[in-house]
Amino acid sequence: MPNSRSDKNDFIEKITLIIEENISNEQFGVSELADAIGMSRSNLLRKVKKHTDLSVSQFIRNIRLTLAKELLEDTSYTVSEISYKVGFGSPSYFIKCFGDLYGYPPGETTKMEQEEVATEVPEIKSVKTKGWLKWTLIGLLVIVFGYLISISGVFESETSTAAKTKPAKKSIAVLPFINDSNDSSNVYFINGLMESTLNNLQKIEDLRVISRTSVEKYRRNLITTPEIAKELDVTYLIEGSGQKIGNQILLNIQLIEAATDNHLWSKQYKNSTEDVFSLQAEVAKNIAEEIQVIITPEEVHRIEKKPTNDLVAYDLFLQGLDLLNKPTPENLEKSIPLFSKAIQQDQEFARAYAAIAIAYYLLDEGKAEKEFSDSINYYSDQAMFYDSKLPQSLIAKALFYMEHYEYELAVPYFEKSLEVSPNNDLVLVFLVDLYVNHLPNSEKYLEYALKGLEVDIVAAYDSATASYSYLHISNAFIQAGFVDEAEKYIDRSLEYFPGNLYSEYLKAYILYAKNKDLNELKDLLLATFDKDKSRLDILQEVAKAYYYLGDYQTSYIYYKKFTELREAYNLEIYNSENAKIAYVFDRVGEKELSEKYLEKFKSDADNMQSIYKHYNLAIYYSFKGETEKAIDHLKLFSEEDNFHFWTILFTPIEPLVENVKKHPDYKKVFSLLEKKFRQNHKRIEASLNAKGLL
């Protein structure tokens, strides 16, 4: 352990010194640090996260800010001068970041320092180290201490209050642009201008930007601006119209205060097609300036970066993109040759390579046998080679790993793409899917589902889609133990689509979590089952309710029907219920069938890769009466993290664990599980509050 701690300190000191040497270079970021220390970007991200619980960009920013604090205390430089000296190209962004870290603006540093002198720890005065490094290490200790406080819940009420009073981000929706030209063949170009405006605004972290799919329904929708604003829950709307005549572009942009329908600003842009990229960047920056959101130097750089220098290639790309944005199999197949022609014009066109990889992935999605794996690999690698910081390149590479079921390898690419394009709805969709279906994690599932809800507004979709979106969020909340929030979102789900039986029976369980009334749970599940008796999922839920009530004869009737139908249709579903089925069959005298289902449960548990492996083995050995083995597996399970609320809720009434409950260590182990869940719940609550999601 001492060597491990020494390695950690050496690593932190080494990268700190590298950052200090490049402190005034505002372009010095994650990739530059990785190159300087001779590590891959992913290894650097993992190592910094492990040692500091910060992203690399946060770590670099905090190094800059700790030096800035020292300069503010010891010199007569102005705030603006210091912001440039420590690598902030924008003084306003420097002031924001400084305030976020220290809790007061940089101009009050001297005053705050004087007020803190009386309480200063003597040992800190005697530290003999380079000034910048000293303040960096102190800053990191403050951050780590703050993190420990957040997960311990010591100042829970103060943290929650502060988070709830934090002002919401400004929000905007870019409505579909109108083609003013009589030439309908130019529609793809006008759509491309709208897409570029949206993509550029999505790169601004200080702004909530509604997804393209959410606004598409308003292309031909004649409802009023305030009505659109209410549906999308936004502060501002952008309306645009334009035409392309020869080599000339005429674009009209209007900024509207959504709630009042007040036109705050409008501008007409007249540019040649040769200036299309500067036009796109100018539009986004003008909008951001008008609504007074903070754009970091990195964000300005991303907005101004040209995707290609070849206008023919770009025109071909826009034609392909228009098809890719309407991803039917036919459109996807038509888009690929257009992107390929764009690459022939410009062999370094990263966005075109990425678009082909994404199109191939969508064509392969859902197929048992993948047809385009090699193509996805080639085009995603080419996209990364020519621009590894482009969001679409990172998405394409992540999709390559998704194609090969290497989900953990996909995560860093999705997360990095979200760093450079914080409002990217496509990335959020994939991350929710990952953390629900492939890498179960209630915290991540909940975080990305809520972020997705901010930019991909369910009200813009049909009622059924909206209902299932709210169902997902309710499910994420209840898994993490947020009962009231889960009930709120499940009620919304049922408001949109009362016929959503998934939501109906999830609500039954949420109400059980609230009221602890098993008879109410049983009655609600029976009422749901009566609405569709072909539903095997609800059938086994009804059987389970009777099982928990101890009515094994009635439970047997439902479980027997469930197992017969499952086998008749050769379905491998709800295998985790086999232990309960075995228990019920045993209680009604069906010993042979009981043993069959119990051994199937044991086989599945032995081969299980999820965190519930040892919990299921504890259940098995408890049922068999082997309590020592059962408690050993329960102890191993208690070392896991991110287990669901249902584990804590139902284990105390679980008939399968009756034998292990007699073991003298059981209460201690279960108390540890409860404590760990409560701590995890508080940590998630603090994290969501800090991110403005709760």
Confidence band, pLDDT 50/70/90 cuts, at residue 7: low
User: Counting runs of H as helices and runs of E as strands, what totals does the chain give?
Assistant: 35, 6
Distance (Å, whole) CA 501 – CA 157: 37
Average pLDDT in the 181-193 region?
85
Q: Length of the chain in residues, anyone?
A: 694
Assess whether pLDDT exceeds 90 at residue 662: yes
Q: What is the DSSP letter of 28?
A: -
Domain locations along the chain: 2-152, 170-306, 308-421
CA 423 to each of CA 64, 196, 476: distance values in angstroms, whole numbers, following the listed order:
26, 14, 21
What pLDDT does 132 receive?
32
Distance (Å, whole) CA 679 – CA 539: 35
Average pLDDT in the 627-632 region?
97
Q: Which of 410, 450, 453 is nearest to 434 (CA)?
A: 410
| Average pLDDT across the chain, whole number | 85
Query: How does pLDDT run across 575-620, given as a tens digit for each residue?
Result: 999 999 999 999 999 999 999 999 999 999 999 878 899 999 999 9
Domain spanning 308-421: which superfamily?
Tetratricopeptide repeat domain (1.25.40.10)
Q: Which of 227, 241, 189, 233 is nearest to 211 (CA)?
A: 233
Confidence band, pLDDT 50/70/90 cuts, at residue 457: low
Lowest-confidence segment of 20-34, 290-304, 348-362 by average pLDDT: 20-34
Q: What is the pTM of this model?
A: 0.65
Confidence band, pLDDT 50/70/90 cuts, at residue 235: very high
Cβ-based neighbour number of residue 690 at 10 Å: 15
Would you state the structure tokens that stand for residue 489, as one six-digit string? 């979102």
What pLDDT does 133 receive?
37
Cβ-based neighbour number of residue 395 at 10 Å: 26
Which contiguous run of DSSP H or E holds residue 173?
A: strand 170-174
Could you please state the CATH topology (level 3) that the domain comprising 2-152 is classified under: Arc Repressor Mutant, subunit A (1.10.10)
Lowest-confidence segment of 76-80, 178-182, 647-651 by average pLDDT: 76-80
What pLDDT does 134 receive?
33
Lowest-confidence segment of 29-33, 314-318, 379-383, 582-586 by average pLDDT: 29-33
- Written out in words, the top-level CATH class of the domain with range 170-306 is alpha beta
Assess whether pLDDT exceeds 90 at residue 26: no
Distance (Å, whole) CA 540 – CA 624: 23
Confidence band, pLDDT 50/70/90 cuts, at residue 70: confident
What pLDDT does 45 receive?
79
